[in-house]
Amino acid sequence: MTAEEFSHLSNEIPAMPGIYKYFDDAGNLIYVGKAKHLRKRVSSYFNRSVDNKKTIELVKRIQKIEFTIVDSEEDAFLLENNLIKEYQPVYNINLKDDKGYPYVVIKKERFPRVFISRKKISDGRTKKVWWVVFDYPKNLRI
């Protein structure tokens, strides 16, 4: 897709959080991304000069763009993670393994434990578990 072709549909993309999906001419999902502001993020692929060879090739292959609006950036993280694991798009290099985004878990116990987990824990021994998603594990370390 060229910048000119993109300009005809750029106003249809909402200025909201969500995920975007790029498809090639055969209809294959080739990339999934997330954004706080979909229009700005998707437009950035077409409105700036890119020197990364992978990104240049990705943009050349885009024939169709779909997006899904979500309530928050955190929801976009989770949806992106699930879609990448399900479809394994060729241009997504992260999240294809069995890892997911890390969470900070705070258990409601007499002496609350706080720890990092990549899995939801259903041990039945606690009344509540609070989950906070983080995009990069290094942001969790103190």
The full set of domain ranges for the chain reads 3-87, 103-140
By DSSP bridging, strand 18-23 and strand 64-69 are: antiparallel
Task: Indicate the SS3 state at residue 64.
Answer: strand
Residue recorded with tokens 């985004």: 101
User: In this structure, which long-range contacts are made by residues 36-40, counting pairs with CB atoms below 8 Å and at least 24 apart in sequence?
Assistant: 36/73, 36/76, 38/13, 38/14, 38/67, 38/69, 39/10, 39/13, 39/14, 39/15, 40/15
Task: Pick out the chain residues at pLDDT < 50.
Answer: 96
C-alpha span between 43 and 77 (Å, rounded): 19
Take residue 91 and report the two structure tokens written for it: 């241009």
pTM: 0.69
Burial class (CB in 10 A: 0-12, 13-18, 19+), 103: buried
Give the chain's radius of gyration (CA, Å): 18
**Where does 3-87 sit in CATH, by number?**
3.40.1440.10
Asked if 92 and 32 count as a contact pair (C-beta separation under 8 A), the reply is yes
